[in-house]
């Protein structure tokens, strides 16, 4: 068992992608099953303890639910007057739940809790293949108990489904590379397309994977350009039908959603703070969303013009967005009750622990370089995207899943030394004369 767990973490100067990790041992399978069960119980328990709370009238989950209801009623993909303001992936998920249960928010929350539990298994699978079985187990365990991942299914946030699809993309991509499988590569591209249709930031997978191929090319199978083109091409093909639908609905090319230009302007205008404040470009008449195309186009143009006209202010604001995105959750305690305060403190400790472990174990990450470059590229490019638009602490959740993967690599590398040290302390002193 120990030999299996250490298969890919033997301290060598050269990392290579595993053609196939060692088979799951009985102990691994039992451990993963226990982790998934615990994850499901924690998420479902949190949903049930919080009760069937109504969705906030002005929150994103409420509007996603509204579009899903309109789809089921035959009114089409409509949010008040907007027809393409939000990506469709999460709406399709909710529509499937509502089709089976009626418009039942509690059922959607419970379904999302199960999705979050399975995400732990996917975390284990892609980290296991990228680095080692031990690191995969640690990643699954940390994902199971991480406070934000427990809380988000109840909040009905899109990030839960996004995390599931992103992890599934990574599993399939690494399988395709390890087994030299073109059809798995195509399936990975298809799932990546669904990830982007859930949250547009899923498109960041394409440049991140391309750059990782360049960094890791000595250790990866050949024809990497062709592999990336297949992966990216299938991703675009999956998105294309929705783009054509938007062309028919709006009379213009909008790849996924009109929120892109609107969000860009929210983060780059004379009154921008770096966080969300609903602001539209001058000359836009929103009218419950019927003006979304103008808001998207004018917002994009006005945001770029503002950034170019005020480069120093733009750089300063980008730094503020970076802080907002990554800052520890030490704010807003005065507005929380007892339960909220406890949850926030636990989250603060967990987040700080991730940062400390990853930073302290940077040398361990270098031992298996360039494997960690893949999650690091996803972290960096996603951070840059939020610095270009606007930032909220909530947007960090997908990044925390990647941070957990890096921390798992460090913990897995430390584990044998810790076990040996602990065993040495328990061993009785040698009394031989």
pTM for this prediction:
0.92
Q: Which residues of 15-37 are buried (b: 16+ CB within 10 A; e: fewer)?
A: bebbeebbebeeebeebbeebbe
User: How buried is 146 (Cβ within 10 angstroms: 0-12 exposed, 13-18 middle, 19+ buried)?
Assistant: buried
- pLDDT digit string (tens) for 221-237? 778 899 999 999 999 99
**Helix (DSSP H) and strand (DSSP E) numbers for the chain:** 18, 0
- CA 13, CA 10: separation in Å to the nearest integer? 9
- CA 403, CA 396: separation in Å to the nearest integer? 10
- CA 116, CA 111: separation in Å to the nearest integer? 9
Secondary structure class of 102 (helix, strand, coil): coil
Question: What integer best gives the mean pLDDT of the chain?
Answer: 89
Q: Is there a contact between 157 and 207 (Cβ–Cβ < 8 Å)?
A: no
Min mean pLDDT across 6-10, 352-356, 393-397 is at: 6-10
Indicate whether 2 pLDDT > 70. Answer: no
Min mean pLDDT across 3-7, 19-23, 41-45, 152-156 is at: 3-7
Q: Is there a contact between 34 and 137 (Cβ–Cβ < 8 Å)?
A: no
- pLDDT digit string (tens) for 162-193? 999 999 999 999 999 888 889 999 999 999 99
Min mean pLDDT across 107-121, 185-199, 303-317, 319-333 is at: 319-333
pLDDT band at 362; cut points 50, 70, 90: confident
pLDDT band at 430; cut points 50, 70, 90: very low
The pLDDT, as a whole number, for residue 363 is 83
| Pure H helices in 131-158 | 133-145, 147-155
Compute how many other C-beta atoms are within 10 angstroms of the C-beta atom of residue 353.
Answer: 12
Long-range CB pairs of 395-400, under 8 A, 24+ apart, other chains included: 395/325, 396/325, 396/326, 397/148, 397/149, 397/152, 397/157, 397/159, 397/163, 398/159, 398/162, 398/163, 398/166, 398/199, 398/201, 399/325, 400/146, 400/148, 400/351, 400/354
Indicate whether 330 pLDDT > 90. Answer: no
The pLDDT, as a whole number, for residue 341 is 82
Compute how many other C-beta atoms are within 10 angstroms of the C-beta atom of residue 425.
Answer: 6
- CA 5, CA 185: separation in Å to the nearest integer? 26
Tokens 């929380």 locate to 336
Q: Is there a contact between 117 and 162 (Cβ–Cβ < 8 Å)?
A: no
Please tell me which residue, 166 or 28, carries the higher pLDDT value. 166
């Amino acid at each position: 068992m120990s030999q299996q767990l250490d298969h890919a973490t033997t301290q060598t100067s050269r990392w290579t992608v595993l053609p196939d990790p060692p088979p799951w041992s009985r102990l691994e399978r039992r451990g993963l099953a226990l982790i998934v069960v615990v994850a499901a119980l924690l998420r479902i328990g949190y949903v049930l303890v919080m009760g069937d709370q109504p969705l906030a009238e002005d929150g994103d989950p409420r509007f996603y639910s509204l579009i899903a209801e309109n789809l089921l009623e035959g009114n089409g993909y409509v949010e008040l007057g907007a027809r393409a303001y939000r990506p469709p992936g999460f709406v399709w998920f909710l529509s499937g739940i509502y089709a089976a249960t009626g418009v039942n928010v509690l059922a959607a929350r419970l379904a999302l809790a199960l999705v979050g539990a399975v995400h732990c298994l996917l975390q284990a699978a892609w980290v296991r293949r990228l680095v080692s079985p031990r690191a995969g187990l640690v990643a699954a365990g940390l994902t199971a108990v991480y406070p934000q991942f427990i809380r988000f299914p109840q909040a009905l946030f899109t990030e839960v489904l996004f995390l599931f699809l992103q992890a599934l993309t990574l599993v399939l991509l690494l399988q395709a590379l390890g087994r030299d499988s073109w059809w798995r590569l195509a399936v990975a591209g298809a799932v990546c397309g669904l990830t982007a249709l859930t949250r547009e930031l899923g498109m960041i997978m394409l440049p991140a994977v391309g750059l990782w191929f360049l960094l890791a090319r000595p250790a990866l199978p050949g024809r990497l350009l062709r592999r990336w083109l297949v992966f990216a091409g299938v991703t675009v093909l999956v998105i294309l039908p929705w783009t054509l639908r938007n062309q028919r609905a709006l009379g213009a090319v909008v790849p996924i959603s009109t929120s892109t230009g609107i969000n860009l302007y929210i983060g780059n205008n004379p009154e921008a703070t770096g966080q969300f404040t609903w602001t539209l470009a001058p000359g836009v008449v929103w009218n419950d969303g019927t003006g979304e195309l103008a808001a998207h186009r004018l917002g994009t143009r006005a945001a770029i013009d503002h950034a170019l006209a005020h480069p120093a202010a733009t750089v300063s604001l980008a730094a503020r967005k970076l802080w907002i995105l990554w800052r520890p959750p030490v704010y807003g305690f005065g507005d929380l009750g007892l339960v909220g305060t406890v949850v926030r403190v636990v989250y603060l400790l967990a987040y700080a622990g991730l940062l400390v472990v990853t930073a302290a174990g940077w040398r361990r990450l270098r031992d298996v370089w360039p494997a960690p470059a893949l999650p690091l590229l996803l972290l960096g490019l996603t951070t840059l995207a939020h610095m270009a638009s606007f930032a909220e602490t909530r947007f960090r959740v997908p990044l925390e899943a990647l941070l957990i993967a890096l921390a798992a690599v460090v913990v897995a590398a430390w584990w044998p030394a810790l076990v040996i040290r602990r065993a040495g302390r328990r061993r009785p002193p040698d009394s031989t004369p």
